[in-house]
Chain A
Amino acid sequence: MRHIISLLMENEAGALSRVAGLFSARGYNIESLTVAPTEDATLSRMTIVTRGSDDVIEQITKQLNKLIDIVKVQDLTDGSHIERELMLVKVRAAGEQREEMKRMADIFRGHILDVTDKSYTIELTGPGAKLDAFLEALEPSAILETVRTGASGIGRGDRIMKI
């Protein structure tokens, strides 16, 4: 099953490679991983999307907790949560395609960030599935380049991850 795990970790050199190393050494999957500093400069927050049986996920959270630099681990999938991902897509937009592309971006609530006479660069935010849906809605040959951030997640309501 797919799980989205949030980590708070010491903002130390090498902390990221401890997490990445743990996943590769123990053969766990990483679907996506994002990391950035938080409002507290000593802490970074990481979001990992992974897949595994309940036993594997239990081991992943235990092993993450065991890393000395990790301050907190939360499996967001355990409760109600929100996740968002940002994608930038460069698409072919020439001739009669131009209007069609503009309409597609609007339907998916995307923003066109950059325009040339042959292309648009569209920014799109949403759950991963929405970004997938957008790409599927396009003619494959129209997609020139894509870049995605991977999912970031946060608990809904009063569910707060802080130290």
Chain B
Amino acid sequence: MANMELTGAEIVVSCLRDEGVKHVFGYPGGAVLNIYDEIYKQEDFHHVLVRHEQAAVHAADAYSRSTGKVGVAIVTSGPGATNAVTGIATAYMDSIPLVVLSGQVPTAAIGMDAFQEVDMVGITRPCVKHNFLVKDVKDLAITIKKAFYIAATGRPGPVVVDIPKDITQHKCDYEYPQHVSMRSYNPTSKGHSGQIRKAVQMLLEAKRPMIYTGGGVVLGNAAAQVTELTRLLGYPVTNTLMGLGGYPSPDPLFLGMPGMHGTYEANMAMQHCDVLLAVGARFDDRVIGSPKHFAKESHRIIHIDVDPSSISKRVKVDVPIVGDVAQVLDEMIKLLKAEPAQQPDASEIKAWWTQIELWRAQDCLKFDRTAPVIKPQFVIEKLYEVTGGDAFITSDVGQHQMWAAQYYKFAKPRRWINSGGLGTMGFGLPAAMGVQFAHPEAMVACVTGEGSIQMNIQELSTCTQEKLPLKIILLNNGYLGMVRQWQEFFYEERYAESYMGSLPDFVKLAEAYGHVGMTIEKPEDVEQALRDAFGKHRDRLVFLNFLTDPRENVYPMIPAGKGLSEMILV
């Protein structure tokens, strides 16, 4: 019996099973009751009940970021669907492959302003790679297959499948399609070999080369290729906020992160190089500042990206290469190994490195190590030490995010999980949950602030239910720190609404949810607290409330709209 007649709800669950899904994050409700009834009856995947739909999507998103698999979330219609939108937009901005199944009111009720009806396809259109409304149960399986295919291929992204309730009751034959081909969607994977040859030639001719890689290297599983190419050439390399771990940070060829809070040496090298190799990066405003300043320099740019629309969007490039970054880099490496006809000009490259070392000697990430208060940078350094640099670190958005990115030296891809594009506060805790499900044995820490953590703090309850041993590293400075920093620098210290007059007792709060809570007030207690969290409390969720210096700022800083060489240094 090849085909069986199944209900739509059974088809949804069967598709997820046949797609090999092991974890689904979601929240039930009226429109998805039939689907949940089938989830109840199956054992192929684990459904994680979150406390808010936004968290379901963030968890599925981070599950994907840490594994490369497509993340899956299920939400009900109306408010369930709208609550998911921030999560979907977060994934969209960072090109994360997700399939979000949303319930919809029955087909006959669509457009009638029915209870818990929203136009989910309309609401999410600008923040999804694609979306579908299923109008016939016969289309359900192929639509879910297409959703997984579209989400994961080309430049990845979230796909929403909106399923009216009556469709989950209707029956039809089920067979999960093995393949799907779409005439309107054929992402390019192989780069143009003539362009690749040209790029290699340009790299070999460079006197002041720079390699700049972004999230595309992580998403495209090209970290090994970036590392090999960089070492083959001996050129300096930088990874963007989304690309951290694309090249091992502790290595001397690595100049740190570029951008608004990037290192002095990375930004100066980006600005003053003569040949820039950009790989899976998009010349984002937080990375290059104003394109006007960036274009003033006479560098030649090679840009490899799977998405043609990312190329020459903000900055004109000289050698565009559209293709899968790993495949393109493989070809470049092959050419570099096969054609020793020309070697980089050793004396020019040496002079360039001498210049870079002078920039590096600025020691732009130095901070006061003698202060009687806890410096947030110090906490991250200790976190790195205690975890041996081997933890998965999720973060929220703000100063703590930048400190985590600057001071935790990521050596592997998919270890640094943050909302880079949308900058979504509240991302960190649910993201850590998603990561822990994907890597049950791994150390997972959420670096957060007291503003961000309160945006999804209800997920402490999910962690209790699922016994997730996350470590929450709260850098508590009492302020919305990044807002406060901008107000200090650009608004003459008028701290409008950046101070939260009252905060909960985080230790009691953690305990109320059944977790371990600690408050750490002195620098000398930081390391022991972390050792306890990852040692004797390894199996528990530990909420570490570090009271940190409220006046600390993130340095270096490039004010918005300025050029890369206009850094404010500490």
Inter-subunit contact B309/A66 (CB<8 Å): yes
Inter-subunit contact A25/B130 (CB<8 Å): no
| B182 nearest in chain A by CB position | A68
Query: A71 with B184: in contact, given A25-B126, A59-B309 (CB under 8 Å)?
Result: yes
- B312 neighbours in A (Cβ, 8 Å): 55, 58
Inter-subunit contact B313/A59 (CB<8 Å): yes
Shortest C-beta distance, A82 to chain B (Å), equals 26
Inter-subunit contact B309/A68 (CB<8 Å): no
- A163 neighbours in B (Cβ, 8 Å): 183
By a beta-carbon cutoff of 8 Å, the part of chain A in contact with chain B is: 9-10, 13-14, 17-18, 21, 25, 55, 58-59, 62-63, 65-66, 68-71, 163
Q: Give B125-172 interface residues, CB cut-off 8 Å to A.
A: 125-126, 129-130, 133, 150
Give A10 to B182 CA distance when docked, in angstroms. 10
Give A53 to B72 CA distance when docked, in angstroms. 40
Inter-subunit contact A65/B308 (CB<8 Å): yes
Q: Give B175-192 interface residues, CB cut-off 8 Å to A.
A: 182-185
Give A59 to B307 CA distance when docked, in angstroms. 12
Inter-subunit contact B309/A13 (CB<8 Å): no
- A21 neighbours in B (Cβ, 8 Å): 125-126
- Other CB < 8 Å A-B pairs besides A18-B125, A62-B308, 20 of them? A13-B133, A14-B125, A14-B133, A17-B122, A17-B125, A21-B126, A55-B312, A55-B316, A59-B309, A62-B309, A63-B309, A65-B309, A66-B308, A66-B309, A68-B150, A68-B182, A68-B184, A71-B183, A71-B184, A163-B183
The 5 closest A-B pairs by CB, nearest first: A62-B309, A68-B130, A71-B184, A25-B126, A62-B308
Q: Does more than half of chain B's interface fall in helix, strand or loop, or is it mixed?
A: mixed
Give A13 to B307 CA distance when docked, in angstroms. 26
Shortest C-beta distance, A36 to chain B (Å), equals 18
Inter-subunit contact A68/B126 (CB<8 Å): no
Count of A-B contacts with CB under 8 A?
Answer: 36
Give A155 to B309 CA distance when docked, in angstroms. 25
Inter-subunit contact B184/A70 (CB<8 Å): yes
- Residue among A9, A63, A66, A70 with the most chain B CB within 10 A? A66
Give A63 to B308 CA distance when docked, in angstroms. 9
Q: Please, what's the 1-or-0 string for B109-129, where 1 marks a CB less than 8 Å from any CB in chain A? A: 000000000000110011001
Shortest C-beta distance, B290 to chain A (Å), equals 16
Q: Give B303-338 interface residues, CB cut-off 8 Å to A.
A: 307-309, 312-313, 316
Give A9 to B185 CA distance when docked, in angstroms. 11
Inter-subunit contact B184/A10 (CB<8 Å): yes
Shortest C-beta distance, B102 to chain A (Å), equals 15
Give A62 to B312 CA distance when docked, in angstroms. 11
Give A10 to B309 CA distance when docked, in angstroms. 21
Give A63 to B312 CA distance when docked, in angstroms. 12
- A55 neighbours in B (Cβ, 8 Å): 312, 316
Shortest C-beta distance, A8 to chain B (Å), equals 9
- B184 neighbours in A (Cβ, 8 Å): 9-10, 68-71
